Chains A and B, each alone.
Chain A
């Protein structure tokens, strides 16, 4: 054979995954692409017709909703991921300390990940309630506020409130990955630095962080990808309100596809979401590589 034996084996080894991924993700994506250049307005008797760039032009130039939703999606993503990262890193640093019971805490901090998305959204909606929510109840009982905080009804608070929920959902995975990375940092480096007189701030900045940079980059990238597309949490908590301040691309797409019967336009939004994600990922990874060198 022309190929080395090792290479042949390699191709066999990746074959099942390539086949499944192609069939079940790439092919549907292609179909989505095709739908996005057609008019699939379900409420019409017209058969599917080719409309070229029409939907894309509408999204990018005519529909105000698209750009404002994109902006909010980016805020949502950055807010959630940055928040989750900081929380995850802090917890990982804490749990990394060699004390009794750390394994117990480690397990505890992973719990939010296990709650299914639907329950998460409903649970938090209830927690945030103005009259019956436990959060406001606690705040009132402690005398911190006299009237309930409108977590989900105040346009200024709504986005931070939903971001908080996403942080809660996101941080466990990041936490466990960062913890693993932290435990890979060689102890000798720390000990040498102590001898040299470095304080813990310096050690963190110059030893720990660089060591976990690779992991941090990857995990924040993946978390961003997941958050960017997330739909359930916002939809169930606020429906995109109040006054549209939490309308993101995913909810826009869902609304157009399934309530507005505009599959073509929705598909175009979906493709644009993909493109945005690709561009952002490339930029992000590029920045990472540049920093590395």
Chain B
């Protein structure tokens, strides 16, 4: 810039400019003589988790010095654009961990390397039996091949306040009717306590709890052959489930008035701050309680998965087995497979689980007995009461790529939101959502 009475000489400007441009150009370094592996993560990106991951990856480097692994975090709500742009530009990462249905969606675009050999390997060495639920890997089965492998689990427990139930002489509910009456009985707005809190905003989380109740009512989205039954065969059950959930807000009014704007965190905060008897949340509530309101810890428990109209065999809870997958056109496929086999093993990911207790879950039964879990009552409750009954959205169908869109476009979060706000009846909401889903299956 040229200010009055001073001029910067041309030469200096040019040199400064070139130096500036040069500094912009330098980025990554390529290692010589090693196989380079890029590893994208979408949920291991907060400072603490990244640190824990760094430690794990360093161990991998030591075990396999010939593979150089570079971790790249992909963060925020714009995960899809990055992956889609990478598909179009053919710069996909060699290996990645991402959203639930990514492997199937990318397989539909012919971008995924089949994981059948890893599954077979796991079958032979007993790993498969060690996984909590067969839908953990079955959800990635499509058109005859497995396209992803599960590596962690995301659960949706219902937390409860033991002290508030005890005060009314109520036992922890085990079925829908008990749950509803417990919520109503302990609802005490003058004391600042709500019966229940769940997120009902137009965000992804809202559909997760609807899903749990759908399964418990004997309903669902797909049948076992992968056909859409949301608004057809499963219609009645799904409407029942939606009604049960939303009645807490609309009919019985035991929820905070603002849940129609709640995202995950808002519901968590209400419960963690001790203002609700029942809180619907992710596993992350545990670490939030420990961090923000430790005195509440002993008063909190996790409910058994409720029994609904579908009966004892439908005693299921929604969850996500999160995948890792490999790019079909990766030049380092073998190295990627080696990495995956090394990474997904019982006990390997303990550092991650220790960092934010509850946020991430192992998929192996053996991990229930780890000292980390044994030392934390809530983790233990989650691992014994919820995890074994957690299944995937597509249950009882195997995966379909369309599930990625149904989940991604939050097609069945809208019903929850609309009914709570009062603009639609449960029946209409379910039918409208079905219409949108049906469109995906026909094209």
Which A residues have a C-beta under 8 Å from some C-beta of B? 41-45, 128-132, 147-148, 150-155, 158, 235, 238-244, 255, 257-261, 263
The answer on a CB contact under 8 Å between A131 and B259 is: no
Question: Which residues on the B side are within 8 Å of A255 (C-beta)?
Answer: 409
User: What is the predominant secondary structure among interface residues of chain A facing chain B?
Assistant: loop
Out of B80, B108, B203, which one reaches A239, CB within 8 Å?
Answer: B203
With A42-B109, A240-B202 known as contacts, the answer to whether A155 contacts B261 (CB < 8 A) is no
Question: Which residues on the A side are within 8 Å of B257 (C-beta)?
Answer: 130, 147-148, 150, 153
Question: Which residues on the A side are within 8 Å of B266 (C-beta)?
Answer: 129
Out of A148, A158, A258, which one reaches B81, CB within 8 Å?
Answer: A258
Q: Nearest chain-A residue to B87 (Cβ)?
A: A42
Expressed in whole angstroms, the Cα–Cα distance for A148 and B256 within the complex equals 10
Q: Nearest chain-A residue to B79 (Cβ)?
A: A258
Expressed in whole angstroms, the Cα–Cα distance for A259 and B409 within the complex equals 5
Please classify how large the interface on chain B is, using the bins under 10, 10 to 19, 20 to 34, 35 or more: 35 or more
The answer on a CB contact under 8 Å between A241 and B417 is: yes
Expressed in whole angstroms, the Cα–Cα distance for A41 and B408 within the complex equals 14
Q: Mark B380-415, 1 if CB is under 8 A from A, else 0.
A: 000000000000000000000110110011100010
The answer on a CB contact under 8 Å between A150 and B80 is: no
The answer on a CB contact under 8 Å between B405 and A260 is: yes
B370 to chain A, nearest CB (A): 35
Expressed in whole angstroms, the Cα–Cα distance for A151 and B262 within the complex equals 12
Q: Mark B401-443, 1 if CB is under 8 A from A, else 0.
A: 1101100111000100110110110000000000000000001
The answer on a CB contact under 8 Å between B105 and A152 is: no
The answer on a CB contact under 8 Å between B109 and A43 is: yes
Q: Among residues 230 to 276 in chain B, which have CB atoms less than 8 Å away from a CB atom of chain A?
A: 256-263, 266, 269-270, 273, 275
Question: Which residues on the B side are within 8 Å of A154 (C-beta)?
Answer: 260
The answer on a CB contact under 8 Å between A244 and B109 is: no
B59 to chain A, nearest CB (A): 34
Question: Which residues on the B side are within 8 Å of A158 (C-beta)?
Answer: 261
A149 to chain B, nearest CB (A): 9
Q: Mark B100-120, 1 if CB is under 8 A from A, else 0.
A: 000001001110000000000
Question: Which residues on the A side are within 8 Å of B81 (C-beta)?
Answer: 257-258
The answer on a CB contact under 8 Å between A152 and B258 is: yes
Expressed in whole angstroms, the Cα–Cα distance for A38 and B186 within the complex equals 56
The answer on a CB contact under 8 Å between A131 and B258 is: yes
The answer on a CB contact under 8 Å between B409 and A260 is: yes
Nearest first, the 4 closest Cβ-Cβ pairs linking A and B are A241-B202, A130-B258, A259-B408, A152-B261
Out of A43, A131, A257, which one reaches B401, CB within 8 Å?
Answer: A43
